[in-house]
Amino acid sequence: MEALFEPAASQPAVTVEPPPARFNFAAHLFALNAPRATRTAYIDDSGHTSYGELEERARRFSSALRGLGVHPEERVLLVMLDTVSLPVAFLGALYAGVVPVVANTLLTPADYVYMLTHSHARAVIASSALAANVTQAMETAEHDGCQLIVSNRASPAPEGEPLAVPVLEDLIDAATPAMKAATTGCDDIAFWLYSSGSTGKPKGTVHTHANLYWTAELYAKPVLGIVESDVVFSAAKLFFAYGLGNALTFPLSVGATAVLMAERPTADAVFARLTRYRPTVFYGVPTLYASMLVSPNLPACDDVAMRVCTSAGEALPREIGERFTRHFGCEILDGIGSTEMLHIFLSNRAGAVEYGTTGRPVPGYEVELRDDSGRPVGDGEVGDLFIKGPSAALMYWSNREKTRATFLGEWIRSGDKYSRLPNGCYVYAGRSDDMLKVSGQYVSPVEVEMVLVQHDAVLEAAVVGVDHGGLVKTRAFVVLKREFAASEILVDELKAFVKDRLAPHKYPRDIVFVDDLPKTATGKIQRFKLREQS
C-alpha cells in the first residue's frame, strides 16, 4: 500500500511505497544495486570499491561475525574512520541481524568505557589509528568477553608471527559470503547512534531497519534530488546521523558514488576532494562553510562541480549562505535533523532557499511549536519544536527517564526552540536549555550570534548567560578572522553593532575573544562548557 504524504499547498505531494513487514535494509540495498555491480560505490583514500565488491565484502563480514560467535540482536561497537571498511562493517552487521553501534572517533578512553559498558558490545572494531584508546578502554571496562578487531592495520605482522588482535580485512578475506540475510522486520532494531553529547552524557539512540529507508525516500530523493549519476561527499563523518545518511543511506539508495575522507575535515582537506573528485552534492556544517570562505585557498567556481550543498548541526548564518552562493553559484540547503529522527525533517528547498531560516517541513514529517503548557503558538512566537515522522527512533537504550521525556507517543520533543514566519518558514531560536531571560525578557543566544557573525571581524560567536550579582547577563565568546586583532575598541564596536540591530536588552554585556569554540565532533557548539568557564 502506498503512503501519501501531503505537504504544504505550495509543494507537491510525495507518494512513497512503504517497506514490507519483513525487511532487512542491507539486503534491500544489495538487491537494488545488483544491476550496478561494476559501478563505483565508494572512493576512499585507498582507492575505488564497486557495488559488487561492497556487497561481497559485507556478506563475507556477515559470515565472519557468525564465526566469531556474535548473534543476531547483539551489539558490535564500530570506532572507525571514514574508509570503505566502515560501510562494509555496518552493512555486514545489518545483514547478519547484528546491531552496529557507530561511535564518535574523537572520544577519550573514558568515553569508550562508558559505551562498552552501556551497549554490552560483543565485539569492537577499531581503525588502527584509534586502537590504542579502545584497547585502554577495554582494559578498564566491565565486559563479558568482548572481542577487539582492528581495521586498516598500518603494517603487516612479521612473517610467521601470529596476530595478537584479528584484522577485519583478514577476517573478511577468509570468510565465505553469507547466502541469506537474517530474518528481520522493518520495525526490528537495526543499529544505534550515540547522541552528540552537546548537553552532557551521550544517549544510545535505537533505530530500526525501516528508518534508514524512510530518510532516503522522504528527504534524499525528493529534496536533494539525488540520482545515480551524482558523486556525493560528506565532510560530516559517518558516526554522525547526518553523515550516515549523506554518505551511506542516500548514495546507496540510488546507486550514486560516495567519496570518503578519513582525516579531519579542514578547509584544505575538503578543497582537495572537491577539486579532485568534483562531487555534485556536498554536505557540510556552518563552521566548515565559514572556514572555507575565509581560506586563502578557496577554489574558483570553475574548479568544482557542486550542484547543491546542505548544512545541519547548527543554524547556518544568512551571511555565510549568501557569500557561498555568490562565489560558487550553488545553494546551501540549511536544515535541521536529529539523532532521534535520524536525518533532516525541516529544510530549505533548491530554488526557494531563504537564508536565515531552516525552511519548511520535509513532506512526510509534521512539526508543531508549543508553549510551556503544550499549546500551539502563533506565527512569530517562540515555541518548543515537536516532530512526528516515520524515521523516529524507538527509544534511548537503558534510559527510561530520558526516553519518556523525549518520545511522546507519535511525537518527539526535540529540545529546540523555533518560531514560524507567516510564509511557513521556520527560524531557529536555540536549544531549550540555552534560552536566557534577561531583564525579564527571553533572549535567544542564536539570534545574537547571527548578528555578531555579520560583522566583518567575526568568524564565529557563541553566547551564554552568566550570573552578575543574581541577574543573568549575556556574554559573547568571539573568534576573530585572522586579519583582525582583539581590542577594547573592537569590543565597543561589536556591542554597538548588536545594539543597532536588536532590542537593547539583547546586546552582549561582556565579549571575550577566544581562539576557538568548544564543539562536538558533529560541529555543535558546547555552550555548557562556555558556561563552566564563566
Give residue-wise pLDDT tens across range 201-227.
789 999 999 999 999 999 999 999 999
* Alpha carbon 47 to chain centroid, angstroms: 25
Of residues 161 and 180, the one with the higher pLDDT is 180
- The mean pLDDT value of the chain amounts to 92
**Mean pLDDT value across residues 418-433:** 91
Give how far Cα 526 sits from Cα of 324, 368, 413, 416, 462, Å: 25, 26, 20, 15, 9
Checking if the pLDDT of 158 tops 50, the result is no
Average pLDDT of the residues in 463-471: 77
Task: Find the mean pLDDT for residues 342-364.
Answer: 97
* Structure confidence at residue 341 (pLDDT): 98
More confident residue, 533 or 506: 506
User: Model confidence over 261-295: pLDDT tens digits?
Assistant: 999 999 999 999 999 999 999 999 998 999 999 99
**pLDDT for the residue numbered 196:** 66
Mean pLDDT (whole number) for 168-176: 97
Distance in Å from the first CA to the final CA of the chain: 56
- Cα 186 to Cα 214, 359, 363: the distances in Å are 11, 30, 21
DSSP, collapsed to helix, strand or coil, labels residue 99 as strand
- β-bridge mates for residue 471, sequence order: 468
pLDDT band at 531 (very low <50, low <70, confident <90, very high): confident
Given this model, what pLDDT does residue 6 score? 58
Q: What is the pLDDT of residue 214?
A: 98
Q: Which cell is 308 given?
A: 547543491
Residue 447 makes CB contacts below 8 A (sequence gap 6+) with 429, 430, 502, 506
Mean pLDDT of 240-250: 97
Which of 453-457, 515-519, 530-534 is predicted with the least confidence, judged by mean pLDDT? 530-534
Over residues 494-501, the mean pLDDT reads 94
The C-alpha atoms of residue 476 and residue 194 are separated, in whole angstroms, by 29
CA distances from 375 to 65, 370, 382, 388, 476 (A): 49, 5, 12, 16, 32
Query: What was the pLDDT predicted at 162?
Result: 46
Asked if residues 495 and 507 have their Cβ atoms less than 8 Å apart, the reply is: yes
- Its sign, for the CA torsion 261, 267, 269, 270, is positive
Res 161: pLDDT: 43
User: What is the SS3 assignment for 515?
Assistant: coil
Interval 298-330: pLDDT, tens? 999 999 999 999 999 888 999 999 999 999 999
Please write the tens of the pLDDT for every residue from 79-135.
999 999 999 999 999 999 999 999 999 888 989 999 999 999 999 999 999 999 999
Nine cell digits for residue 431: 536549544
Distance CA(288)–CA(293), nearest Å, equals 9
**How much is the pLDDT for 7?**
58
pLDDT computed for residue 11 by the predictor: 56
Q: What is the residue whose three cell numbers read 557540510?
A: 284
pTM: 0.86
Up-side HSE of residue 14: CA atoms within 13 Å toward CB?
Answer: 22
- The predicted pLDDT at position 184 comes to 98
Indicate if the pLDDT at residue 4 is higher than 80: no
| Residue 396 pLDDT greater than 70, yes or no | yes
Checking if the pLDDT of 524 tops 50, the result is yes
**What is the Cα–Cα distance from 454 to 457, expressed in whole angstroms?**
9
Q: What's the average model confidence in pLDDT over 417-429?
A: 95
**Residue 253: which of 3, 18, 59, 41 has the closest Cα?**
41
Dihedral-angle region of residue 219 (phi above 0 means left; psi in -120 to 50 means alpha; beta otherwise) = alpha
* 227: Cβ contacts below 8 Å, ≥ 6 apart: 254, 256
pLDDT digits (tens, 9 = 90+) for 65-77: 999 999 999 999 9
- Residue 89 Rama label (left phi>0; alpha psi -120 to 50; beta): alpha
C-alpha grid cell for residue 120?
554490552
| 314: nearest Cα among 172, 449, 158, 490 | 449
Sequence-ordered alpha helix ranges (H) in 337-429: 400-406
Residues 6+ apart with CB under 8 A from 457: 480, 481, 484, 490, 494
On the question of pLDDT at 198 being above 70, the answer is: no
Q: Is the pLDDT reported for residue 260 higher than 90?
A: yes
Residue 477 has a pLDDT of 97
Instruction: Report percent pLDDT > 70 for the chain.
Output: 92
